[in-house]
Amino acid sequence: MDQEPGDQEPGDQEPADQEPADQEPADQEPGDRLQPVSARAELATGLVVALGLVLLGAPLGLLWAAIAPRPDVVIAAGNLDFVDRETKDFIAADGLLFLLLVALGVLAGSLAWRYGRRRPFGVLLGLTVGGALAGLVAAQAGMLTDDRAAAAAAVAAGTLRELPLRLQAHAVLLGCPAAAVLVFALLALRRPQALPG
């Protein structure tokens, strides 16, 4: 028997509540599902991130040299005599550099998540390597600047002056990469759907 155009067999009718197979869930944003990128793109992103951090290390070191405390010494017969032998200025200078590097790491991790989360492996590589190099550059720039300033000053016997800036605890240089990677990882755990699938 011929079927009329409006008629339909019961087995041919699709359930009303069934969504098409290629339709995305309603609660997923269109831009949240990202495709993986190539290894070359990951490495290029890591290089850009690392280079940016290294370039920021030099002005950070100059800032450290400008505001870091230094112990006072008296110059007598070519020797240095500390005014306060129990001075905490060495610890304070190292702590200040650590805080500056952590602040740089937090900023770098936040910006890397905002603009580079499509290439997470390259970003993490750049934050780790670039953050470590930024700490080295900051320390060397700060100490080198302070050495030049100290050499330019006239020194006479009995003069009271500040000791040139020196880094005592090299572990503080890990503040930048540790903070950057931690911030990026926390943001990734908060929004895992924003990472490439």
Q: How confident is the model over 38-65, as pLDDT tens digits?
A: 888 899 999 999 999 999 999 999 999 9
Residue 169's region, left for phi above 0, alpha for psi from -120 to 50, else beta, is beta
* Mean pLDDT, all residues of the chain: 78
Percent of the chain with pLDDT over 70: 64
**What is the rounded CA–CA span in Å between residue 12 and residue 126?**
56
Alpha carbons 130 and 138: distance in angstroms, whole number: 12
User: pTM for the complete prediction?
Assistant: 0.72
In the prediction, which pLDDT does 138 show? 96
8 A C-beta contact, residue 35 and residue 194:
no
Asked if 101 and 169 touch (Cβ cutoff 8 Å), the reply is no
Instruction: Please calculate the CA angle 102-116-37 and round it to the nearest 5 degrees.
Output: 140
Which residue, 29, 24, 55, 180, is CA-closest to 116?
Answer: 180
What is the tens place of the pLDDT at every residue in 70-121? 776 666 655 555 555 556 777 889 999 999 999 999 999 999 999 988 899 9
* H/E element, 161: strand 159-162
Does pLDDT of 37 surpass 80?
no
pLDDT at site 38: 83
* 27 band by pLDDT with thresholds 50, 70 and 90: very low
pLDDT band, very low/low/confident/very high, at 172 (cuts 50, 70, 90): very high
